Amino acid sequence: MADRRAEAVRALSTALGHRFAEPRLLDLALTHASVGEGAERDARGRPFADNQRLEFLGDRVLGLLVADRLMRDFPDANEGEMSSRLHALVDKAACARAAEALGVGPAMRLSPGEAKQGGRRREGVLGDAMEAILAAAWLDGGIGAAQAVFDRAWAAELAAPPVRSVSNPKSALQEWALGQAKALPTYRILERTGSDHAPTFTVEVNVDGYAPLTAQGRSRQDAEKTAAIGLLQREGVI
C-alpha cells in the first residue's frame, strides 16, 4: 500500500506542474486529520500533523487566485457577475473535481477507517486537500507556484460554461417547491466529521416527490445551501 501511495504522490507531483523544494509540504497537504485521530505515527514515533492549517490558508489563496483570474478574463463584468462566478469556482464541489482530475485521492494519507469509508472519493476530503495543496505550493514557491498549480487544476472549471447562481438558494428552492405544489423542503444532517475547529457537515435535502440530494459544507448552513443549489441544478431550475 505504501508503494502504491508513493507512486500516486509522484504522479500527482507531475500533474501539478510544480516541483516542490520542500516535499514535506506536499506530504502534509495530503495528510487527512483522521491519521492523527487514529494515532498513526511517523518514522520518529510522533503523531502525524494534518492538512487542516494548510486548508485554512489554501481557501484564501484560492479566493485570491480566482478573483485575479476573473478580473483579467472579464474586464466588463460587474461585481455581482464576478461574485457569482467566484462562488462557483471556489466551492467544495469545484475543488473536489479539480482534485479528482489530478489524482489526489490515491495520493492521500488517510486512517484505515477513513479509507474504508471511501475517503479517497469523498467530496469534502478531496476539496480540503486541493486547497491545502494550493497553500503548500504558495509556501514552497510563492504566488507564482500557486498560480501555476491553480491554472492546471482549474483548467476544466474555467473552460466550462458559467453556472447560473442564485443569491439565496434555500429561498429559491422553497419557492420552486411551493410552485410545484409541494411541501417546504426539509434538511437533515447525515454526518459531521473533522475536528471541532474545522468540521465538515454532510446534509440531505428532501422535496416531496423528488429524489433526495446530499452535499457537504464547513458549516450546516453552507452544506444546506450547497444541497439546495445541487437540487435546483439537477432539476434544471438553474
Given the residues 27, 91, 123, 131, select the one marked as catalytic: 131
- Does the structure show a pLDDT above 80 at 226? yes
Q: Which of 159, 194, 224 is the last residue of a domain?
A: 159
Amino acid letter for position 149: V
Domains identified in the chain, total number: 2
Q: Kindly state the average pLDDT of the residues 205-228.
A: 91
- Does the structure show a pLDDT above 80 at 194? no
Query: How many whole angstroms separate alpha carbon 147 and alpha carbon 158?
Result: 14
- DSSP annotation of 91: S
Q: Cell numbers at residue 213, please?
A: 440530494
Query: How many whole angstroms separate alpha carbon 128 and alpha carbon 28?
Result: 12
Q: Which of 139, 159, 179 is the last residue of a domain?
A: 159
Helix (H, G, I), strand (E, B) or coil at 76: coil
pTM metric for this prediction: 0.72
Domain co-membership, 32 together with 106: yes
- DSSP annotation of 48: P
Tell me what pLDDT residue 93 has.
Answer: 84
Given the residues 59, 91, 114, 140, select the one marked as catalytic: 59
Query: How many whole angstroms separate alpha carbon 53 and alpha carbon 137?
Result: 14
Neighbours of 38 (CB within 10 A): 16
Query: How many whole angstroms separate alpha carbon 89 and alpha carbon 154?
Result: 8
Tell me what pLDDT residue 164 has.
Answer: 59
Residue 73 known to be catalytic: no
Lowest average pLDDT, out of 16-25, 45-54, 61-70, 99-108, goes to 45-54
Query: How many whole angstroms separate alpha carbon 82 and alpha carbon 151?
Result: 18
Q: Which of 159, 181, 212 is the last residue of a domain?
A: 159
Q: Which residue has the higher pLDDT, 118 or 238?
A: 118
CATH number reported for the structural domain that contains residue 192 in this entry: 3.30.160.20
Domain co-membership, 103 together with 56: yes
Q: Are 68 and 144 in contact (CB under 8 A)?
A: no
- pLDDT digit string (tens) for 81-123? 788 788 889 988 899 999 999 999 999 999 888 888 888 988 8
Q: What range defines the domain where residue 220 resides?
A: 169-234
Sign of CA dihedral 23, 25, 29, 30: positive
In a domain, 182, yes or no: yes
Strand 213-217: give its sheet, edge to edge. 186-195, 198-206, 213-217
Residue 131 known to be catalytic: yes
Tell me what pLDDT residue 39 has.
Answer: 46
